Amino acid sequence: MRVITSALETIGGITILSGRVARMMLRGGINLRLLLEQMVLLGVNSIPIAVIVLSFAGAVFTFVLAEELASRGAGSLVGGLQLLVFLQEMIPVFSGIVMAGKIGAAITSEIGTMKISEQLDALRALSTDPDWYLTVPRVLAGIIMMPVVAVFAGYGSWFAGYAMAHNQIGLRYSQFASAVDSLVSMHDFRMCFVKCMIFGATIVLVSCHSGYVAQGGAAGVGKAVTNGVVLNIVLIFLLDLLVTMVMG
Amino acid sequence: MISFEGVQLSFGSHQVLRDVSFSVTSGQMTAVLGPSGSGKSTILRLIMGLIRPQQGRVIVDGEDVTKMSERRLQRSRRKMGMVFQHNALFDGLNVAENVGFYPTYVEKRPWKQVLPEVEELLEDLGLADSAQKLPGELSGGMRRRVALARSLIYRPKILLYDEPTTGLDPYMTEVVAELIAEMNEKYAVTGVMVSHDLPTVYDIADHVVLIAEGQATVVGHPSELLRSEKPEVIGFASSWRRHIIEYSGEMSKEE
């Protein structure tokens, strides 16, 4: 019973926070300086780790698939298949998980620490809405920068996949890319970007909410960070399923 | 300027304030005393509108802050400043940015215009060399002065101090107390101070309000702490009697 109440409280809290943030964004209450700062922190600084993770994923994917397809005379499909699967699933989901671990944890611990050290009250005392100062720029930066991170991560996985295919079955670049036109459409790119934007917003909202409800000192902040990251990962897979079914 | 009218507040099943009524006179410094956990800091949060009571009214400058929407509260808070017990400086901003927060983000003035004001205030508070330091690089006394500067920069009519000298060494306690008195006079603010530090209360308060067992007792001038015949004041003063006598003795010698 307590678990259900707590889950409902969390869902309700995140929904209310989303509503407030959306209202502020529609009213145009965005500080450009804060937004740019967050775009660098959330996006630019996450590109290297996302590229590394997706490059390994691309290499592993090709390693498993290349010889199998080559033995059936379909080696030239490797690149196209990899891009298709990565656009629809791997890039948004893996980038989302990387962002949840790196950015989500950082946001929750920062806001949680601000809460327990009365900095959120200090913001309010200075006539500043914490949502305006902290949440709105982070959410917007998440929505804008997650697709940017995904582009870099996508390139990483593509070239790592090619390097593996070249090494394993001797494919030239033109052969590796030959099936892209027939297997991949603009719809796959759209789906990738839509998922990235939804995941970007979700990760930041969940992380901010986890920070706002943190209580009880350093241990409380640690617990809030864990809860935020776990909830983000579950939500990434749930939303991935929903978006795939809707856009499929 | 500020008045509490029959304020009741509970956190869960714990009733913190049962029926609190008192007034704070404009232009004077009122000290709120009371045992630990009696709800002294809660008084400041109620004035600032950071929490709302279950019953009663808190009137600040003619407006009931308990009934205001968050948006109206934001406007109302522009006439108030608060120095938090643990300073609550923004970790990620340096001293100058902390002090210039209000003019930059609330008044939305360009930093070039804000900086000279920040520098002047930091000079006044002896922090001119620390403008580029982060809060984590400062001593306790310096952090307290930055917190004071952050509130003073927008010239509030009302300043609230939550345990302004707690955690400071005796020398720094004296420095901060003097600074508060000096700034209150210079900027003509109405002050409400929560404190455990009786020497500071004797030094800078004009009035004392005692919060005990969820109720407020107006004591009057700090010297009344020893003379009052109200049972709750006698009860509180008895535990501090030695300190009060020592300090009032020192005060009269000095006088």
Locate tokens 């045992």: which residue? Answer: B35
**A132: closest CA of chain B, how far (Å):** 10
**What residue of B is the nearest CA neighbor of A34?**
B105
pLDDT in tens, B87-128: 999 999 999 999 999 999 999 999 999 999 999 999 988 888
The percent of chain A in helix, strand and coil, each rounded to the nearest 5, is: 90, 0, 10
d(CA B48, CA A238): 42
Please give the pLDDT value at position A129.
93
- Find the CB nearest B88 among A31, A110, A117: A117
8 Å CB contact between B154 and B103: yes
Please give the pLDDT value at position A61.
94
Question: Mean pLDDT throughout A33-51?
Answer: 94
By the 10 Å C-beta count (0-12 exposed, 13-18 middle, 19+ buried), A232 is classed as buried
Please give the pLDDT value at position A29.
77
d(CA B105, CA B102): 5
Among residues A25, A83, A44, the alpha carbon closest in space to that of A201 is found at: A25
Among residues A154, A133, A137, the alpha carbon closest in space to that of A204 is found at: A137
d(CA A116, CA A130): 14
Half-sphere exposure of B118 (CA within 13 A, CB side): 25
Q: For residue B149, what pLDDT band results from cuts at 50, 70 and 90?
A: very high
8 Å CB contact between B81 and B158: yes
Instruction: For chain A, say whether B80 makes contact (Cβ under 8 Å).
Output: yes
Q: A126 and B150: CB-CB below 8 Å?
A: yes
Q: Is the pLDDT of residue A124 over 60?
A: yes
d(CA B224, CA B193): 17
Q: Which residues from chain B sit within 8 angstroms of residue A118, using beta carbons?
A: 84-86, 88
Please give the pLDDT value at position B248.
65
Q: Is the pLDDT of residue A21 over 90?
A: yes
Among residues A52, A94, A82, the alpha carbon closest in space to that of A240 is found at: A94
Instruction: For chain B, say whether A117 makes contact (Cβ under 8 Å).
Output: yes
Question: Mean pLDDT throughout A131-135?
Answer: 95
Give the least confident one: A8-22, A39-53, B140-154, B238-252: B238-252
Q: List chain A domain ranges.
A: 2-247
Instruction: For chain B, say whether A68 makes contact (Cβ under 8 Å).
Output: no
Adjacency order of strands within the sheet including B190-194: B63-64, B55-60, B2-11, B14-24, B215-220, B207-212, B29-33, B190-194, B158-162, B80-83
Instruction: For chain A, say whether B82 makes contact (Cβ under 8 Å).
Output: yes
8 Å CB contact between B168 and B199: no
d(CA B135, CA B145): 11
**What residue of B is the nearest CA neighbor of A119?**
B88
Q: Which residues from chain A sit within 8 angstroms of residue B80, using beta carbons?
A: 125
By the 10 Å C-beta count (0-12 exposed, 13-18 middle, 19+ buried), A73 is classed as exposed
Q: A125 and B48: CB-CB below 8 Å?
A: yes
Q: For residue B246, what pLDDT band results from cuts at 50, 70 and 90?
A: low
Q: Is B100 helix (H, G, I), strand (E, B) or coil?
A: coil
Among residues B25, B28, B24, the alpha carbon closest in space to that of B46 is found at: B24
Instruction: For chain B, say whether A23 makes contact (Cβ under 8 Å).
Output: no
pLDDT in tens, A64-113: 999 889 999 888 899 999 999 999 999 999 999 999 999 999 999 999 99
Q: Which domains are present in chain B?
A: 2-254 (3.40.50.300)
Please give the pLDDT value at position A102.
93
d(CA A79, CA A169): 12
In sequence order, what are the residues at sequence separation of 6 or more whose Cβ sits closer than 8 angstroms to the Cβ of residue B19?
B6, B7, B8, B56, B214, B215
d(CA A228, CA A236): 12
How many residues make up chain A in this entry?
248
Instruction: For chain B, say whether A32 makes contact (Cβ under 8 Å).
Output: no
Locate tokens 């990235």: which residue? Answer: A196
Per-residue burial over B69-103, b = 16 or more CB atoms within 10 Å of its CB, e = otherwise: eeeebbebbebbbbbbbbbbbbeebbbbbbbbbbb
